[in-house]
Structure 1
Amino acid sequence: MFKFLDGKTVILASTSPRRKALLEQIGLSVNVFQAEIDEEEEVLSENLTEPSEIAKFLAVAKAKHAFEKYCGLNNGVPDLLIASDTVVDLDGSPIGKPKNKQGAIEALTRLSGNMHEVHTGVCFMFRKSEDVDVKTLSFVESCKVHFGQLSSEVINTYVATGECYGKAGSYGIQGIGSILVEKIEGDYNAVVGFPLRRFFVEVRKAFCD
């Protein structure tokens, strides 16, 4: 599937085990290199409020930061560097990662019985073997997630598992959080954290066209 990347350096600018596992699931071998940015500060500095714009902006910011840092450490120029960010959107309002138990409970209470959107921004920086310049491409994949009506007992029991922490919207659809979801409209993998189909189409076009 990724023969066009044979022998090339592929970097994932994320320490998310979910994103790494998803990419490996489709046969792409990646080296992890952390992108260290203050997400809240970055968003505030740009005065962004639209959730899908935030997802795309943060993916681009992570990619550029990681690219500069990677090159600055004299690791050379990667052939492909991938970054991503996921934002949960309830009626136009972003719901981020919970900072504590109460924050997780409040987020899940808001999502209970409602439909929300999940926007996953992806940015990749790449260089074809015959090119000198590095190019940047970014996109957003969005889908709709419908939550069932959740009782306080269910919410508290789920939060007690600890799975909610470190996840946008305070839930992980790939784990125990799957029982909170009635249905989704769109790419399941985008909700998990990375839209595999769209990424494959875009990166193949970038390298092969």
Structure 2
Amino acid sequence: MNPLVVPLVESIGRNFSVVLASGSPRRRELLDRLNLNYKVIPSNFAEDLDKSKFASAADYVISNAEIKAQDVFARIRGQTDKPVLVIGSDTVVVSPSGEILEKPASPQDAAETLKSLSGKTNIVYTGVCLIVGSADAGKVTIEKAVESTKVTFNDLDDEMLEAYVATGEPTDKAGSYGYQANACFFIKEIKGDYYSVMGFPCARFYQMLRDLHQRGVL
């Protein structure tokens, strides 16, 4: 697949030091579809916020995304002559009962999570935080957005459940499944942004870049 060559995006890549604050291969795969010059510096954030302190899953996921971006921004600022653009993102799944589900602790945990989602609809929230700042101690702009997408499972029989967990795929997936991979065989329906379920809402991200450009930030 050839990347999109968008003049605005190319200009940002030339004039800013762009950093993705995530080691996620799925986010890199999606970001690579734009002809954007960027590098990867994963955040050191432990992702250990107390979920009970947040009014909603949307608030929780955008806080994670912002802290990831802030962590990397603080580490790289002053190390380049160019202004900096840091991209932070986070994804969580909310169960039908309202529980925030992140990556499973073990294969057994993944199996239990998938059983709880079988035949039901869960909601995937992905937050994106962009931090733009000059190389010195000048102005900092923070832009945030959240996408929510409903995902409905077919009934997940034991054979499929065991086979899916055995692939190891659930291990690094919020909610213990990856729609873009083998989970396609038991996901019945999706309502919302498919790429947000993958971990990065591409259309919303591009709109954020455009809005920042129109405001003279990028």
TM-score greater than 0.5 by the shorter chain? yes
Matches within 5 A, 1:88-99: 88-91=93-96, 92-99=98-105
Alignment match of 2:41 (pick from 18, 29, 33): 33
2:88 partner SS: strand
Q: What does residue 92 of structure 2 align with?
A: 87
Tell me, yes or no, if the aligned pair for 1:24 and 1:30 is still in contact at 8 Å. Answer: no
**Which runs of no fewer than 5 residues in structure 2 stay unpaired?**
1-5
- The alignment status of 1:147 with 2:192, answered yes or no, reads no
Matches within 5 A, 1:1-209: 1=6, 2-7=9-14, 8-40=16-48, 43-44=49-50, 47-48=53-54, 50-71=56-77, 74-75=79-80, 78-91=83-96, 92-127=98-133, 132-209=138-215
| Counterpart-to-counterpart distance in 2, 1:46 and 1:38 | 17
Deviation at 1:16, TM superposition (A): 0.4
Residues 76 and 104 (structure 1 numbering): CA distance in 2 closer, same or farther, change over 3 Å? Answer: farther
Amino acid at match of 1:89: V
**Which runs of no fewer than 5 residues in structure 1 stay unpaired?**
none
Tell me, yes or no, if the aligned pair for 2:17 and 2:80 is still in contact at 8 Å. Answer: no
Amino acid at match of 1:25: R
| Counterpart-to-counterpart distance in 2, 1:45 and 1:149 | 29
| Counterpart-to-counterpart distance in 1, 2:154 and 2:81 | 49
TM-superposition CA deviations, 1:125-166 (whole Å, max 9, x none): 01479x941201111011110111101111111000001111
Tell me, yes or no, if the aligned pair for 1:71 and 1:77 is still in contact at 8 Å. Answer: no
What is the identity percentage for the equivalent residue pairs of Structure 1 and Structure 2? 36
How many residues matched? Answer: 205
| Counterpart-to-counterpart distance in 2, 1:101 and 1:25 | 32
Tell me, yes or no, if the aligned pair for 1:128 and 1:207 is still in contact at 8 Å. Answer: no
Q: TM-score, normalised by structure 1?
A: 0.91
Residues 134 and 77 (structure 1 numbering): CA distance in 2 closer, same or farther, change over 3 Å? Answer: farther
Q: TM-score, normalised by structure 2?
A: 0.87
2:171 partner SS: coil
| Counterpart-to-counterpart distance in 2, 1:174 and 1:71 | 35
Residues 39 and 49 (structure 1 numbering): CA distance in 2 closer, same or farther, change over 3 Å? Answer: farther
Deviation at 1:76, TM superposition (A): 5.4
Amino acid at match of 2:17: T
